[in-house]
Amino acid sequence: MPAAARLVRGVAGALPVAAVGGFMALFFVWPIGGVIARGLGGTGPAAALGDVLGSGSHRSVIWFTVWQAAASTALTVAVALPAAGAMARLDFRGRRILRALATVPFVLPTVVVAAAFEGLFDRFGLAGGGAVNLRHTVWAILMAHVFFNYAVVLRTVGAHWAALDARVEDQARVLGASRLEVFRRVVLPRLAPSIAAASAIVFLFSFTSFGVVLVLGGPARATIETEIYRFAVVRLDLAAAAALAVVQLVAVVALVAVSNALERRRAVAEPVASPAAAPRRRGPGLVANLTLMAVILGLPVGVLVERSLSAGRSGGYTLRNYTAMAERVNLLPDTALAALGNSLMFAVPAAALALVVGGAATLAIMRAGSGGDRLIGRAFDIGLTLPLGTSAVTVGLGFLLVLNRGPIDIRTSVLVVPIAHAVVGIPFVVRTLVPMLRTVNPRTREAAAVLGASPRRVRREVDLRVAARGVAVGAGFAFAVSLGEFGATSFIPRRPETLTAPLALFRLLGTPGETLRGQAMALAVALMALTAVAVFVMDLWGDTRRGVF
């Protein structure tokens, strides 16, 4: 290859790395580093970590964070695994629509999920005053986490399950094995990589859960994430908040490394060209799974809609709560309807920015070959997933601490909102595109090259065709994530143009009053409808056979 061509190729390969590295260094590493430096002061990380681990209250918070995440993961896998099998092995009309509906809770704003369960407890008398009280209990948190993470197991494990060769199971049945033995000895070992990958993702999301624990757990139930928020915002104790953030970051790095290793194992473990399993006829198993899904996923959503239409103590149903969204209340700097418009306005550029940066990062990861390139690819693969588990509150606080001087003084600008949302959305784009491209059979690329296709044409005809679907999925996730983000946005100055729907919803839910509660339910339904549209568009253009998040 001529020297000039090698130079051009080297520059072209370095540009995505430089662009992604610069963006993440400026808007993630620097803010997080600023929070840690400001909070730790002169004590140093070791001393701060010692103080955290030496405090009984902090150890209690860490232990609760770990065990509730483990319990949430176990419950989610146990409940969603049968549905994953039904989606993979049973043929019925509307399967794709049902898969999309089941994905909606995963992309719902966590404040909306909390509002749905608050409405559920109110509707069935489980909020106190009766024989059973679920409000501000660990059971409320676990139920919400199962609701939120159900689709992770359904899609991740279901996609792998559908790709397995069903003839192996049929052969075991012919040899006299029962259905339970076939599942335990034949199916489960082959599903183990995807179950482990899904479990790691569910554990990560439950470990870093913020809105659900903050609203449903109340002041008596605290995780590391909510404690970072309380120490930084309520108590103004940056040292304790930063030390907790360091503990969380260490745990998140370990979880992300495990999740990525399991993801690579799952991609390799999937059969390259196994015959598609013959669809089975519908039966009692399908009815049972649909009923369970309706209870777990449909009931909270249905009650949320019902509560949004409730006329309150006067009885009956009305649209008054929806029309009230256009009315100004003293609690908010603008109307709830204006806040919803702001969220839409921010979601579009945030999704676009996440796609650009996430797409460039994917190119750097997939081009990684050997030596230094492989190290860069591995660093990007792990590093760009860190915002997924990092406290959004910490990111928002970091923006205010470091983006207030020099040429990038944007802490009071509306630009800080879509940038913060994009930082949170980039991992979803990367975690969607990279697994999709990894499942491309290398022999397909080799066959195209043997037939005379240039490397550029191979990327265009093979990789880009797969990536096009991944772009749709990633854009849908980034858009939905931006609609629902409120942790980082809560640090933005309270002006009408920076008020988003999740932030308005959080304030409405936290204030007593029947009128405000009804308006909160209506706003939650509107926000849920927007995220549902994003999911359906994502599923329409994306590849529903890939169980990636």
Domain membership of residue 378 (yes or no) is yes
CATH number at residue 514: 1.10.3720.10
Q: How many structural domains compose the chain?
A: 1
> Would you state the pLDDT for residue 71?
94
Residue with tokens 């104790």: 237
339 and 499 in contact (C-beta within 8 Å)? yes
> Would you state the pLDDT for residue 279?
52
208 and 225 in contact (C-beta within 8 Å)? yes
Domain membership of residue 3 (yes or no) is no
Domain membership of residue 11 (yes or no) is no
Domain membership of residue 548 (yes or no) is no
Closest CA to 58 of 271, 231, 283, 234: 231
Mean pLDDT by 10 residues, the chain (549 residues): 50 66 82 74 58 74 89 92 80 74 80 85 76 82 91 82 71 71 73 81 85 82 82 73 76 72 54 46 69 86 88 78 85 84 90 86 67 58 66 75 70 79 82 70 66 68 67 79 78 72 84 81 89 74 47
> Would you state the pLDDT for residue 543?
47
Query: Is this structure's pTM higher than 0.85?
Result: no
> Would you state the pLDDT for residue 539?
66
> Would you state the pLDDT for residue 76?
93
Closest CA to 486 of 111, 226, 213: 111
> Would you state the pLDDT for residue 146?
93
Domain membership of residue 546 (yes or no) is no
What the block records as the tokens of 103 is 């994905």
**481 exposed, middle or buried (CB, 10 Å; 0-12, 13-18, 19+)?**
buried
The residues near 351 (Cβ < 8 Å, ≥ 6 apart) are 422, 425, 475, 478, 479, 482
Amino acid letter for position 238: L
CB count, 10 Å around CB of 405?
A: 8
544 phi/psi in degrees, rounded to 5? -75, -5
SS3 of 223-292? CHHHHHHHHHHHCCCHHHHHHHHHHHHHHHHHHHHHHHHHHHHHHHHCCCCCCCCCCECCCHHHHHHHHH
Domain membership of residue 199 (yes or no) is yes
Q: How far apart are CA 57 and CA 53, in angstroms?
A: 9
Domain membership of residue 481 (yes or no) is yes
H-helix segments, 95-208: 95-107, 110-123, 138-163, 166-174, 179-182, 188-207
Q: How far apart are CA 186 and CA 177, in angstroms?
A: 10
> Would you state the pLDDT for residue 467?
66
The residues near 272 (Cβ < 8 Å, ≥ 6 apart) are 441
What the block records as the tokens of 353 is 């920015």
What the block records as the tokens of 219 is 């002041």
DSSP state of 171: H
The residues near 456 (Cβ < 8 Å, ≥ 6 apart) are none
**279 exposed, middle or buried (CB, 10 Å; 0-12, 13-18, 19+)?**
middle
> Would you state the pLDDT for residue 549?
45
> Would you state the pLDDT for residue 271?
47
Angle (nearest 5°) at CA 233 between 59 and 226: 40
Residues spanned by the domain of 361 = 19-272+284-313+321-541
